[in-house]
Amino acid sequence: MHNPSLITSIEARNQAYRESLENPEEFWGHVADQFTWKRKWDSVLDWNFEEPNVRWFDGAQLNITENCLDRHLPERGDEIALIWESNSPNEESKKYTYNELHEAVCVFAQVLRSGGIKKGDRVCIYMGMVPELAIAVLACARVGAIHSVIFGGFSAHSVADRVNDAQATAIITCDGAYRGAKDIPLKAIIDEALQHCNSVKTVWIYERTNIEIELKEGRDILWKQAIAHVNIQEAINTPAETMEAEDPLFILYTSGSTGKPKGVVHTCGGYMVWTHYTFTNAFQYQRGWVHFCTADIGWITGHSYILYGPLTAGATTLLFEGIPTYPNPDRFWEIVEKHNVDILYTAPTAIRSLMSAGNDWVMNHKMPSLKVLGTVGEPINEEAWQWYHKMVGKGNCEIVDTWWQTETGGVLISNLAAVTPSKPTFATLPLPGVEPLLVDENGNEIFGNNVSGNLCIRKPWPGILRTTWGDHERCKQTYFSTYPGLYFTGDGALRDENGNYRITGRVDDVLNVSGHRIGTAEVENAINLHTGVIESAIVGYPHDIKGQGIYAFVIYQGLETDLRTLSHQINETVSREIGAIAKADKIQIVSGLPKTRSGKIMRRILRKIAEGELESLGDTSTLLDPSMVDSIIQGRL
């Protein structure tokens, strides 16, 4: 399939960029022409950032799975759509051709239909990284159900919050999941969560680990039994649901600076165009290439660059069940060699952890198939960038540093592999359709180069979030009100002398731990639930592997226990409330927190203490009790 919107030179990039901003309607209309629509749009773009209201391809109808699957069948039905690699190197890989994946999705779509799932219903998916996860997601999209994938590391409590917020009527899960040396009892966690959810009528369970599970009569159905009843021919012949371009495709919950995660909503048409456009251009995907994105489908990276981007492009996408260091820290390299991976897309935290395992593990693998190395999720430090380039890419691969967010649907700022230059630690230039700008605290634009500020975007691109589920006001408040008329990313950035952007990290109360977004308020709420905890404040601090670690300052007046036991117990509470990813790396018991006279915690000071920058604490005279700071410093971990 010829991709008319593939950019292949700097000149073409600059021209596309100019055209996309001068005449977005013509530009994106042209890009969108290459997809399969059931009906074309009446207008390409209507928008204002005040409400906000953004509509792309209004009036158009489509089903995204016809673009991921059906349209490839005549030409490449027998080519591999999906390669699955097990957690264990001893278990055989699985491969699905486009024909096979299409069939599997049609069959499970039929299961959903017979379970009463219809367009607009919400279905939560809580599974390990098995092919059936991809099938479940696409089957939801096929029948028009709004999927909400919940990362398998979240606790029952977090699952329940998300299921309730979305008012999901069904769950698709597994008995358990393998992740490295661990088995996660997913179904048992669902059972616990569902004690607090009454919207859920049906639970489908794919058996992966064969652990014992309880089945609830009238609610729980085994995947294998359900698909056994489907007439395959009928399933294939049942048309995909007709969706409006602006109908929601999925909800994905993400943490913000307040306590409650918000459900970011993406819609069918714009998201499809954006993931395809960014996938093909940033990675410069070529027909026949194998694309290995190591993220979990529970995060936006997995949605956009394991599933929708690669599949709309007709690529071979690789889905890996395990983790980079199991059984050894060369598991990625083994997989790259075994499947002749062309594009590897991973996170700086994974790169740093593999780097710390020593060079032998990577030097034993030549990996001649590799062409493009992508990074995403957090700022990449120079050392990790160079190691990725030299050790993994053997100096022969392009590195693309792709900056984006759950809310942006796909990449916004990145170099285009071998087309525009890379610059270590810089995401470099915006993609066509993306107009970044830097503002100061008061919202005044910072012009010129060699400047830094808060990163905003001026106009909508097709993949921008449309709302936060059930609470449009929150969407407005969070992203469109800080700087009226602009989308605010929550990130700080620097612009160099050539206009390249370097993302320096979050400027709000959001942490980025191992590439996962963690809201400080959420963790504090969890810690505060622990018996004896009076109050807590958490901040990030630089961590060699995770990028940021979590430092908790806790006021505790409970039973006397030794610090180690207490820290352990507090983290158990965090695991129970949120999940193990939010555990604190350091917990310091303090007698008070630095507060202003109005009672606001001065996080700036705590951040400096956690970072060890004790000389630059700044002005502490406005504190209610400035001596508090000294006592916290003395107890520093």
Go through 545-567 and write b for each residue having 16 or more CB atoms within 10 A of its CB, e for each that does not: ebbbbbbbbbbbeeeeeeeeebb
Q: How many residues interact with ligand WT7 (rule CB under 6 A)?
A: 22
Residue 541 found at the interface with ligand WT7 (CB under 6 A): no
Of 110 and 317, the one with the shorter C-beta distance to ligand WT7 is 317
Of 285 and 345, the one with the shorter C-beta distance to ligand WT7 is 345
Write down the residue that tokens 């649907």 correspond to: 409
Binders in 377-406 for ligand WT7, by CB under 6 A: 377-379, 401-406
Strands 177-179 and 146-149: unpaired
Of 244 and 407, the one with the shorter C-beta distance to ligand WT7 is 407
Of 403 and 551, the one with the shorter C-beta distance to ligand WT7 is 403
Of 240 and 503, the one with the shorter C-beta distance to ligand WT7 is 503
Of 17 and 385, the one with the shorter C-beta distance to ligand WT7 is 385
In the β-sheet with 94-97, what is the strand arrangement from edge to edge?
Answer: 94-97, 80-85, 316-320, 290-293, 343-346, 372-375, 398-401
Binders in 64-123 for ligand WT7, by CB under 6 A: none
504 backbone dihedrals φ, ψ, rounded to 5°: -100, -10
Of 254 and 536, the one with the shorter C-beta distance to ligand WT7 is 254
Angle (nearest 5°) at CA 150 between 145 and 155: 140
State how far Cα 109 lies from the chain centre.
Answer: 25
Which stretch in 77-85, 122-130, 361-369, 375-383 sits in contact with ligand WT7 by CB under 6 A?
Answer: 375-383
Among 141, 427, 486, 539, binds ligand WT7 (CB under 6 A): 427
Write down the residue that tokens 């979030």 correspond to: 465
Nearest CA-CA partner of 194 in 177, 211, 169: 169
- In whole angstroms, the minimum distance from the beta carbon of 190 to ligand WT7 comes to 23
- The H or E element spanning position 272 is helix 268-282
For the window 233-262, what string marks contact with ligand WT7 as x by the rule CB under 6 A?
---------------------x--------
| Helix 563-577 / helix 156-166 crossing angle, nearest 10 deg | 30
Residue 423 CA to residue 435 CA, distance in Å, equals: 20
Q: What contacts 24+ positions apart, CB below 8 Å, involve 618-621?
A: 620/594
Binders in 514-533 for ligand WT7, by CB under 6 A: 517
Residue 512 found at the interface with ligand WT7 (CB under 6 A): yes
Residue 426 found at the interface with ligand WT7 (CB under 6 A): no
Among 141, 213, 376, 610, binds ligand WT7 (CB under 6 A): 376
Residue 296 found at the interface with ligand WT7 (CB under 6 A): no
Which stretch in 85-93, 268-276, 333-341, 371-379 sits in contact with ligand WT7 by CB under 6 A?
Answer: 371-379
Residue 301 found at the interface with ligand WT7 (CB under 6 A): yes
Longest dimension (CA), the chain: 75
> Footprint of ligand WT7 on this chain (CB under 6 A)?
254, 300-301, 376-379, 401-406, 427, 489-491, 503, 505-506, 512, 517
